[in-house]
Structure 1
Amino acid sequence: MRRLRPSVLYRFVSIELMRRLPRRSEFGLLFAGALVGVAAGLCVSTMTFIAHTMHAVIFRLEPGERLSGAAVDEKALIFVAPIVGGVLLGLLLFGLSRWRKRPLVDPIEANALHGGRLSLTDSLIVAAQNLLSNGFGASVGLEAGYTQVASGIASKFGSKLKLRRSDMRILVGCGAAGAIAAAFNAPLTGAFYAFELIIGAYTIISLTPVVVSALVANLVARLLAASDAGIDVGSVGSILPADYVPALVLGVICGGVGILLMQGVAFIEEIARKSLIPGYLRPAIGGIIVGLLAMVSPQVLSGGHGALHINLENDVPVLGVLGLFLLKAMASAISIGSGFRGGLFFASLFMGALLGKLFSFAAPYLGHTTLEPASYAVVGMSSLAVSIIGGPLTMTFLALEVTGDFPMTALVLASVITASFIVRTLFGYSFATWRFHLRGETIRSAHDIGWIRNLTVDKMMRADVRTVHADMSVKGFRAEFPIGSTQRVILVEETGKYAGIVLVPDVHGNLVEGENEVAPIRSFARHSNDILLPNMNARQAAALFDETESEALAVVSDLIGQNVIGLLTESHTLRRYSEELDRNRREATGEL
């Protein structure tokens, strides 16, 4: 027998231990979350450095300047850069259309439908597209790229460890939590971003690894780039009970504006799809429009970090704030609608702060003057962000970590809940789930519904069904299927097409001996037009059973040929559905 060398044996044992530990103990999953946090912090720092370097080189910025807050003197450069970025992105899209035709999956879709399975290659492609878009000045943030690549690394790591479905989803959430925590210097925000938007639920099992990942990622990012730390809003003043009324009004306004912005992006994308312009040419055209808007105000470029601080720290006339809000809204919608890759996370924060400042100008005319403009900016920032991105607690904790003020956080919570209620009632989607809806998906959150789609009719049906020709005589049927031999028989035409289901007790119980024995058995057929398809899931099958009031239905190959391939009963469907539901519940609570 061949003996393993000590080094090979040690490596084998180490690999097996790494695979088994996360599956057998919470400590193992915690350790995996910490490693993902390190990777997320490194990814955020690397992507931020690349984007800042691109801004400095392309727009000739001074050291430490933010693109949207810099005074770029060369107007031609501001105009040309987004166009060049659009051309380069178009070339990349053209290459991907020939090389990689499948759609790119983001963390929300991966956790909702694919059990956390996320392609690392696709994630790196998304990150590259995001850097190319943001680096050349398109009005998008880097947060989409941060979460995509960090979650992709987490998913790849989880695949190597052969994690269970529930643990894989938690690890993907760890990646997203670390990315947001590192990007905003806000561990609580990152953790609840994962709970609300990526995992779709909060559980005791997921709490520790997600929070640890967020803390570790934030620590790594601050060690590598201490200056890129979050948002500074300054002093927000004191909060009085009467301040809740204008905060609630501002929440209603932000909810309505958020709906308009999401529909605006969808409208531009729809126009682009209906046009004869190829997809790889649209970013260049979008770059032209963004360049023209940037010539009016360079603050619409990139995510808006520099512009946010300029408008928070300085007194800007009301028309200037309104104009910048409209320009930024148009630039962001056109950037995403024309094909630039990125998200609206920071753009929504920036526009929300502008909306809050606009509201502060109107507050004295409404009989309210106690709140500082910075307070309205924080309330507007969180409320518009929750309207577009979702995650009420995420945005509330962001306000807490930005201001460090608990009374201010309570005020933000009231406004955020109001804005979220308005969007959920009148619209029903966040920006991410709205885009899934436009693609024909039914996802409303990252809650795991993939297991339902995997529990299909072809996996539950019985293939050993008994069939007879529909023109067989009743006498022949009774002879071939005596009472007690079987409960149901499926009728088929000579071509093999489905013709209905016959209950054997009906044939024997409702006939008098010698009468109508030459009649065709199809006269006893039930549910001739009610069929199941093999790719239907358990929920769809259960709904069809309820609609037809049938205890069993035939499964056919397709709607055209309708060749019978099996039989499925309602009782078996509900039992399998309940078993899977219970298994997923136990996985989520750590009982498995």
Structure 2
Amino acid sequence: MPRRGLLVEEMALVLSTLSHIIDRKASNRVVTRLRALLRSNEFYLIPLALVIGVSTGAIVTVMSLIAQFAHVIIYGIPIDVRLSANAWVNPVVALIAPACGGLFLGLMEWLRRRWKIAAAVDPVEANALRGGRLSMRDSIVVSSQTLVSNGSGASVGLEAGYTQIGAGVASLLGQYLTLRRNDLRLIVGCGAAAAIAAAFGAPITGAFYACELIVGVYSVGSAAPILAASLAGALTSQYLTGAPYSLEIQKVGAVGFEQYIALFVLALLVAFIGIVVMRASPAVERLFVRIPVWLRPVIGGVCVGAMAIVTPQVLAAGHGAMLLDLHREMAVGMIATIIVLKLAACLISLASGFRGGLFFASLFIGSLLGKLFAGLLAMAGLSLALDPLVAMLTGMATLGVAIVGGPLTMSFLVLEMTRSVDVTAVVLGACIVTSVCVRVLFGHSFSTWRLHLRGETIRSANDVGWLRNLTVERLMRSDVAKVPTTTSIAACRREFALGTRQAVVVVNNSDDYCGLVSLPDLFSGELDSIADEIQVVELAKYFEVALLPEMNVKTAMKIFDDSGAEELAVLESENSRKVIGFLTESFARRRYVEEIDQATRGVLGALS
């Protein structure tokens, strides 16, 4: 019996192992078939986008609840009151809470630098340079840091954490399913769209946010998946607890034609203010350079806490404060004070090392700018009757465009807030004015400006990563035909027949590059009589012109154009004259056109 029992156990173990192998193979077959479906037709991206939208909406809801509970526990506010809408906060708590949160973030940053961990990549950079590839670990870390920053009271919003985790989840699924580059970028946009839609309860806003700021283009092929994810995110958030940043205005007055000019003037003023804010960002960061990295957020937190003693409206994103200020009467001096303090709190929070976004903060400050503008016009005694609420909505949207970008995103946010086409029309016009002004005078949104300060040259989420990846090293051929400088023309002719290649490389005794000789020049009839007497080096061209492996194809083509060469040698490095390969102009141009064609088909939605 014992032996029989042992045999039964062994058989059971074998069967269990076989079952596990069969299940795993079946699972692999399912995943393989799913990958094939997603590659075969863009229609199958829609169910994937719905899954991403639902999961992102749930995550946004959880993050919002955690932040609100943190505010309740730390600041002792009622559960149904936003931190920035509170009339008063304990001065001691206001000083200590952001400083403690800053200490935690400062230590995290100190450890990251000590362990030489690369900085996290945001969705804009991922889509522009990395083909939509995001690290899920980094996304979780960034979202957690955003929660700590907002939860402790720093003057930043959660929307950066929302979009980071939404895009991270989407990228993780896309990489697991081995989606193509264009599809992966699209799915990352779906994650960001769902995050914004869930946060504001505005699916159209979320969809245009993804198109304008994350994917970088509007296209037929991307519309359905992005809108599906956006709707799923908004509905999920609404079903669970309601959108955390929901803004609804029940009644807005009609906008007369005479108000358009005043609101367009407001748009221009807001554009200049937005540029000043973005220009001020690196200046404020320089104030913290000499301070130890772990101490910077602590000092920044104390500064924000000191301003919160004056007005709690500087704390967190400002959602509660904006709802509070929309319909109440406020003195011009009070509005100006809140604007200055909130701007200072936002810049200090980000410069000192807190994590978060300026999306909602820009909406809040912009609304106050609109209210201040309307108040100043009224004080000036002008006959123009400008509705303060319309001015607030215009200021909100235009500062959002100046700092975040996306004129259609902000315009549709106003439409979903007010349900008023009249107000949306004037806001759209004002957003276009601001967008053009900022693009001409500055050329960046806040996110691309911060990337610019780090040395990147991108100005949007348009995919330029393929251009950087298409380097000379990838394009060149390594079967280089070399001849010594002392070789005669006749000897070189005997070694290389006409038509076998375009050119040969001339090298000296140290194998250093001394120029190129084209075979048509080498076989010129004028040289027949002196071919045994002339050395090949006397025909060499392009001694000072060569390519380097790290150059991208666009740089290589400019060198071809400037030199007029049809073929160029590739040198080992700037400090070395060793030849490691060669590249022809025709091949470089063909590959460049192929990549542009593929990128264009992605823009037009013809993803095949």
Shorter-chain-normalised TM-score: which range? over 0.9
The match for 1:507 is 522
8 Å contact 1:119–1:152 — kept in the other structure?
yes
The match for 1:417 is 432
How far apart are 1:566 and its partner, in Å?
0.9
The match for 1:225 is 241
The match for 2:347 is 333
How far apart are 1:121 and its partner, in Å?
0.4
The match for 1:139 is 155
8 Å contact 1:233–1:312 — kept in the other structure?
no
User: Hey, what's the Cα distance between the residues in 1 that align with 2:243 and 2:602?
Assistant: 41
1:3-25 deviation per Cα after TM superposition (whole angstroms, max 9, x unaligned)? 87875565344323332222222
The match for 2:139 is 123
Is 356-365 or 581-590 further displaced after alignment?
581-590
Q: 1:368 to 1:409 in 2, by over 3 A?
A: farther
1:277 and 2:320 matched: no
The match for 1:373 is 388
How far apart are 1:345 and its partner, in Å?
0.4
The match for 2:276 is 260
Name the aligned partner's letter for residue 357 of structure 1: K
Q: How does 1:239-258 map to 2 (within 5 A)?
A: 239-258=255-274
1:163 and 2:179 matched: yes
8 Å contact 2:522–2:539 — kept in the other structure?
yes
User: Hey, what's the Cα distance between the residues in 1 that align with 2:190 and 2:311?
Assistant: 38
1:77-109 deviation per Cα after TM superposition (whole angstroms, max 9, x unaligned)? 111111111111111212222446112100011
Name the aligned partner's letter for residue 280 of structure 1: W
Q: 1:454 to 1:428 in 2, by over 3 A?
A: same
Name the aligned partner's letter for residue 311 of structure 1: D
1:235 and 2:251 matched: yes
1:212-246 deviation per Cα after TM superposition (whole angstroms, max 9, x unaligned)? 11111111111111273511345321111111101
1:49 and 2:65 matched: yes
The match for 1:590 is 606
How far apart are 1:135 and its partner, in Å?
0.7
1:111 and 2:120 matched: no
How far apart are 1:560 and its partner, in Å?
0.9
Identify which of 192, 200, 207 aligns with 1:191.
Answer: 207
Q: How does 1:330-409 map to 2 (within 5 A)?
A: 330-364=344-378, 365=380, 367-409=382-424
How far apart are 1:482 and its partner, in Å?
5.1
Normalised TM-score (structure 1): 0.96
1:250-307 deviation per Cα after TM superposition (whole angstroms, max 9, x unaligned)? 11011100000111112122343xx332322211121121122222211101100111
Q: 1:35 to 1:465 in 2, by over 3 A?
A: same
The match for 2:463 is 448
Name the aligned partner's letter for residue 74 of structure 1: N
Aligned-residue Cα RMSD (Å) equals 1.9
Is 358-367 or 559-568 further displaced after alignment?
358-367
The match for 2:230 is 214
> How many residues were matched structurally?
589
8 Å contact 1:111–1:117 — kept in the other structure?
yes
1:578 and 2:593 matched: yes
1:23 and 2:39 matched: yes
Is 502-511 or 538-547 further displaced after alignment?
502-511
User: Hey, what's the Cα distance between the residues in 2 that align with 1:484 and 1:341?
Assistant: 62
3-state SS of the aligned residue for 1:566? strand
How far apart are 1:540 and its partner, in Å?
1.2
The match for 2:316 is 302
Identify which of 315, 323, 347 aligns with 2:329.
Answer: 315
8 Å contact 2:182–2:607 — kept in the other structure?
no
User: Hey, what's the Cα distance between the residues in 2 that align with 1:265 and 1:305?
Assistant: 22
User: Hey, what's the Cα distance between the residues in 1 that align with 2:594 and 2:206?
Assistant: 33
Percent identity of equivalent pairs: 43
Is 468-477 or 49-58 further displaced after alignment?
468-477
3-state SS of the aligned residue for 1:371? coil
User: Hey, what's the Cα distance between the residues in 2 that align with 1:209 and 1:18?
Assistant: 17
How far apart are 1:41 and its partner, in Å?
0.2
3-state SS of the aligned residue for 2:294? helix
The match for 2:7 is none
Normalised TM-score (structure 2): 0.93
User: Hey, what's the Cα distance between the residues in 2 that align with 1:331 and 1:233?
Assistant: 27
Q: 1:80 to 1:479 in 2, by over 3 A?
A: same
8 Å contact 1:153–1:175 — kept in the other structure?
yes
How far apart are 1:508 and its partner, in Å?
3.5
8 Å contact 1:353–1:377 — kept in the other structure?
yes
How far apart are 1:572 and its partner, in Å?
0.7
1:470-513 deviation per Cα after TM superposition (whole angstroms, max 9, x unaligned)? 23344443443454454311112222221111123223327445
1:560 and 2:582 matched: no
Q: 1:291 to 1:206 in 2, by over 3 A?
A: same
Q: 1:99 to 1:222 in 2, by over 3 A?
A: farther
Name the aligned partner's letter for residue 270 of structure 1: R
User: Hey, what's the Cα distance between the residues in 2 that align with 1:486 and 1:13?
Assistant: 48
1:521-555 deviation per Cα after TM superposition (whole angstroms, max 9, x unaligned)? 32222111111111211111111111222111111
Q: 1:486 to 1:31 in 2, by over 3 A?
A: closer
Q: 1:548 to 1:217 in 2, by over 3 A?
A: same
1:115-147 deviation per Cα after TM superposition (whole angstroms, max 9, x unaligned)? 111000000000011011111111100000000
8 Å contact 1:79–1:292 — kept in the other structure?
yes
The match for 2:5 is none
How far apart are 1:421 and its partner, in Å?
0.6
8 Å contact 2:199–2:243 — kept in the other structure?
no
User: Hey, what's the Cα distance between the residues in 2 that align with 1:228 and 1:169?
Assistant: 27
User: Hey, what's the Cα distance between the residues in 2 that align with 1:529 and 1:227?
Assistant: 63
Q: 1:271 to 1:546 in 2, by over 3 A?
A: farther
User: Hey, what's the Cα distance between the residues in 1 that align with 2:283 and 2:213?
Assistant: 24
How far apart are 1:411 and its partner, in Å?
0.5
The match for 1:69 is 85
1:95 and 2:127 matched: no
8 Å contact 2:60–2:195 — kept in the other structure?
yes
Name the aligned partner's letter for residue 132 of structure 2: G
Structure 1 portions without partners, runs of 5+: none
How far apart are 1:311 and its partner, in Å?
1.4
The match for 1:466 is 481
8 Å contact 1:388–1:431 — kept in the other structure?
yes
1:29-63 deviation per Cα after TM superposition (whole angstroms, max 9, x unaligned)? 00000000011101110110110011111111112
User: Hey, what's the Cα distance between the residues in 2 that align with 1:488 and 1:368?
Assistant: 79
User: Hey, what's the Cα distance between the residues in 1 that align with 2:292 and 2:539?
Assistant: 57
3-state SS of the aligned residue for 2:523? helix
8 Å contact 1:234–1:374 — kept in the other structure?
no
Structure 2 portions without partners, runs of 5+: 1-14
3-state SS of the aligned residue for 1:280? coil
How far apart are 1:514 and its partner, in Å?
4.8
Name the aligned partner's letter for residue 458 of structure 2: I
Q: 1:516 to 1:25 in 2, by over 3 A?
A: closer
Is 157-166 or 404-413 further displaced after alignment?
157-166
How far apart are 1:417 and its partner, in Å?
0.3
Identify which of 434, 441, 449 aligns with 1:426.
Answer: 441
The match for 1:292 is 306
The match for 1:495 is 510
User: Hey, what's the Cα distance between the residues in 2 that align with 1:471 and 1:549?
Assistant: 26
1:525 and 2:540 matched: yes
